[in-house]
Amino acid sequence: MSEFVFHLVIDEFFISIERSLDLEIKDYPVVVAPTFSDRSLIWEASRSAKELGIKEMMPLSVAKKRCRELKVIHPKVDLYQKIQRGLEQKFLSKWTPCFEIASPGKFHLDMSGTQKLFGSFQQSAEALLKELRHNLSFFAFLGAGRNKLVSQIASSNLQNCMSLESVKQKPLSMVVQEGGEERFLNPLPVYLLPVINQMILNKGIKSSDETNFLRDLNIHSIQDLRQLSAVGLKVLFGKEWRSAHLQSRGIDFDPVKRVDYSNRISSEYFLEKPSNSLNFLCHRLQILVEDCFLKWQKVNFELGIGQIFYRYEDFKTAEELIFLNDSYTSLDDLLNLFREKFTQSLRRRTALVTLKVEFIIEKTLGKQLSFLTDLEQQKSMHVLNLVEKVKGEFGGKGLFCGREDEALNKVG
């Protein structure tokens, strides 16, 4: 059975929700942004606003100067989350049980083996978009390919090439058949690759200088990047040269991770105003941990992993994983552990706008029995220690196995 992934992008997700609530803003340029300050950054801009030069992450004061008729809507985060959860449970689950949330309004769907249910992938893509448009009044783009990378690039290319008027006329989808990945990727601009976007972010290059930056590197299309040797990739990308090599060939080993809320306990807080006060943030963190702890006490399962998610004012996100064991069973221990990890992970002075704590529980009522002998356990522990040693020296991406190793051996 061949693997196939859809990347579904709902166009103007936040703004579509707001326009369904207020029909008067339908014909105006609209942005979603916090309204407490003109220094707030724009979360999402409508296509009519983008035609006036207004973009996401632009300060609200600059956007107002470019368009006096601009309609600014304060984000309704709780409503957006409720609608997205409804999309997951009542719409996406009908098409496949395995889907992953990429970001608000963007989803990866594993459609492998669904041809007998919905026909060809092209037919199922068109039917999905048609149902989304007629039943839920959402206009969307859909890219499809053998992995998440190819499907995401296909949907991004559709967004860049098509206007919203085209979307309203008919469902838009692009299906890249297996074996045609390189032919599809060759002429596309290189900044569609995630590794290039990450490189631009790391170097702090402004979006207006993005094209000049790539031109200076003499790399215009993905085909140009593919023709570079391993030495050239190492010079340009450093430790990320393997990612650049694989992505330029449409290779992605990251599977669609199924959303499972049954083993997660979470609590989230949206700050009314962005803040970088450590005392205030630690106080809110304590409340979130206490809330998750009380929810966890009501279930008879063991704690596995704790997570802290937070979003900065400039939309960048970060997360901190905390591996829990039997020694962390009291609330005071958990509070001290989460507070310590949180303060250590804050490396920027940028204010936060969202803070979330999540417990991932182990669904077992007791200890799992071990059928290994003492000698076998010692060998397995020795292997695990070696793996951790390699990760510590070369980083988490220093290990490759299976098809990844075969692909990397082809590098010149």
pLDDT tens digit at each of 412 positions of the chain: 578 999 999 989 999 999 988 888 888 999 998 887 788 889 899 988 998 999 888 899 999 999 989 999 988 888 888 899 899 888 999 999 899 988 889 999 999 989 889 999 999 999 999 999 888 889 899 999 999 999 999 999 888 776 555 555 555 889 998 888 989 999 998 888 888 877 766 655 554 445 566 677 788 889 988 888 888 888 888 888 899 899 999 999 888 988 766 678 888 888 878 888 999 999 999 999 999 888 887 776 777 788 899 988 776 778 888 887 656 667 888 899 899 999 988 877 888 888 999 988 765 443 334 444 455 556 666 776 777 677 666 655 555 544 444 444 444 4
Residue 26 domain-assigned (yes or no) = yes
Which amino acid, one-letter code, is at 275?
S
51 shares a domain with 138: yes
Residue 320 domain-assigned (yes or no) = yes
Residue 278 contacts residue 284 (beta carbons within 8 Å): no
20 shares a domain with 137: yes
Residue 7 domain-assigned (yes or no) = no
CATH number, residue 110: 3.40.1170.60
Look at residue 7 in the predicted model and tell me its pLDDT: 95
Look at residue 170 in the predicted model and tell me its pLDDT: 57
R_g over Cα of the chain: 23
Look at residue 411 in the predicted model and tell me its pLDDT: 46
399 shares a domain with 353: no
Total domain count, the chain: 4
124 shares a domain with 20: yes
Residue 241 domain-assigned (yes or no) = yes
Residue 185 domain-assigned (yes or no) = no
134 shares a domain with 25: yes
347 shares a domain with 399: no
Residue 176 domain-assigned (yes or no) = no
233 shares a domain with 130: no
Residue 253 domain-assigned (yes or no) = no
Look at residue 312 in the predicted model and tell me its pLDDT: 84
Dist. CA 342–CA 280, nearest whole Å: 13
Residue 336 contacts residue 322 (beta carbons within 8 Å): no
Phi-psi region at 270: left, alpha or beta (left = phi > 0; alpha = psi -120 to 50): beta
Residue 177 domain-assigned (yes or no) = no
Look at residue 40 in the predicted model and tell me its pLDDT: 83
300 shares a domain with 241: no
Look at residue 313 in the predicted model and tell me its pLDDT: 78
Look at residue 147 in the predicted model and tell me its pLDDT: 93
Look at residue 29 in the predicted model and tell me its pLDDT: 93
CA nearest 191: which of 200, 203, 182? 200
122 shares a domain with 34: yes
78 shares a domain with 121: yes
Q: Is the pTM of this model over 0.85?
A: no
Dist. CA 105–CA 103, nearest whole Å: 6
310 shares a domain with 209: no
Look at residue 211 in the predicted model and tell me its pLDDT: 52
Which amino acid, one-letter code, is at 318?
A
17 shares a domain with 138: yes
- Parent domain of 138: 13-142+163-170
